[in-house]
Every structure is written in structure tokens, then in C-alpha cells.
Chains A and B, each alone.
Chain A
Amino acid sequence: GAVVSQHPSWVICKSGTSVKIECRSLDFQATTMFWYRQFPKQSLMLMATSNEGSKATYEQGVEKDKFLINHASLTLSTLTVTSAHPEDSSFYICSASRTSGGDNEQFFGPGTRLTVL
């Protein structure tokens, strides 16, 4: 159990376009989902935390108008990178936990490789 999927696994887009990445919990209900960005040879940097039915909480320095997060159901969260630019090229990883905070493990998705030309 506790499987998290992401779609697409990779995407190439032109500068100025928007890209949507989906994160799904396949066999459990995820009250909380987290979105991370990972540049080559670097660590995972938390971008935002989303809870089903409420607005996402963004980390300092992350533009909420550029990285739109929607957590419309207990099994789906989406990250939309608006007006993407080459510097947004990165590995985007989501994770999901069954409840908020507490003693709950985060289950990670396989990641989405975004390349902006």
C-alpha cells in the first residue's frame, strides 16, 4: 500500500507556456501533499504544502502565482508551472501523507522531469 504516482514522468515545453503536473495517491487518502523541487546534484527543496480543500502554504521565496497548486480531492493534487522559463527546468517530486502532521510518513511520487526550452 501507500503508492503515489505522478504524471507526466517527463515533459518538455517552450518558454512561456504552462505545464500541469498531477500527483495521485493510488491506494490511500492523502490529507496532505507536499511539492518539492530538486535541481541536479542538490537536495529536495520544499515548495509548498497543500491540504485537501484549502489553499496551499508556500515556502518563503516560492511565487504562489507562478506555481499554482490545487488539492481538490483526497487523492489528487496538481502543480501548474505558469509561464515556464528555462530556470524552472528541474525535477519536481510530490509526496503524500495520510493526515496532517503527527506521526505520518510521507510517501513520494516518482517525480516529473521538466525541461523548458
Chain B
Amino acid sequence: GENVEQHPSTLSVQEGDSAVIKCTYSDSASNYFPWYKQELGKRPQLIIDIRSNVGEKKDQRIAVTLNKTAKHFSLHITETQPEDSAVYFCAGRSTDSWGKLQFGAGTQVVVTP
């Protein structure tokens, strides 16, 4: 099955700086990679996703890049704000018929004013 690794586990950035989180996956047939933001005690919220036929996707201050050859994808947050502080999870979707997601371990992002 799919195995997703995520780094770093914690990330502290100054407000206004950029944050980058990296994930690698093992199943070369995986074709969908979402990113979630989870605040303490809340549900994960989809913030951006990318499919395997695309190399990069951007939505305002958030962007995701995908390198299929190297089997890694990254989340980029520019001009960080205190409200960006949360735990971020990457995930990969397996190609089995159920569409299961395999989550990375998570990155605690702290944006300091």
C-alpha cells in the first residue's frame, strides 16, 4: 500500500516569511495528493490538492508542487500570517477501488508575529 512521509514535524516562521512542507510517497501509481489544515480539536480542512497530471497548482498564498519522478510533493505558503498556525497534513490516495487516503505524520506550523 501507499506510505507517505512528511517533513519537518515542526516549523516555526516569522510572520510574512514563507513556509515549505515536503512529503514523499511510495506508490508510483498514486494519482491524487491533497493537503489538509487542522486546528486543535477540529476536523481536517482541505486547503489545496494536486493530481498526478499536473506539476504545480496555486491558490492565492498557497501552492503545491509535484515531482512524479522523484515521488515527492511540497506545500508552499507565502506571506504567512498568524492564522496560518495549525497542523498541516499531506496525503496520498491509493489506486485501489475505495480511494483510501494515506496521511503523512503532520507538520505543526507556528507563525510568530
Contacts and interface: CB of A to CB of B under 8 A. Distances in A.
B100 A93 contact: no
Contacts of B97: 100-101
A49 interface: yes
Interface in A37-52: 42-46, 49, 51
Contacts of A57: 98
A103 to B, nearest CB: 7
Interface stretch (B12-20, B65-73, B74-82, B103-111): B103-111
Interface residues of A, number: 25
A49 B89 contact: no
> Number of contact residues on B: which range applies?
20 to 34
Contact of B98 (A32, A42, A105, A110): A32
B89 A34 contact: no
A43 B43 contact: no
B47 interface: no
Interface in A87-111: 91, 93, 97, 100-106, 108-111
**Which of A97, A101, A102, A113 has the most CB atoms of chain B within a 10 A radius of its CB?**
A101
B103 to A, nearest CB: 5
Contacts of A106: 99, 101
A57 to B, nearest CB: 7
Interface in B11-39: 32, 34
B99 A44 contact: no
Closest 8 CB pairs of A and B: A101-B99, A108-B43, A101-B97, A43-B103, A49-B98, A44-B103, A110-B43, A43-B105
Interface of A: 32, 34, 42-46, 49, 51, 57, 91, 93, 97, 100-106, 108-111, 113
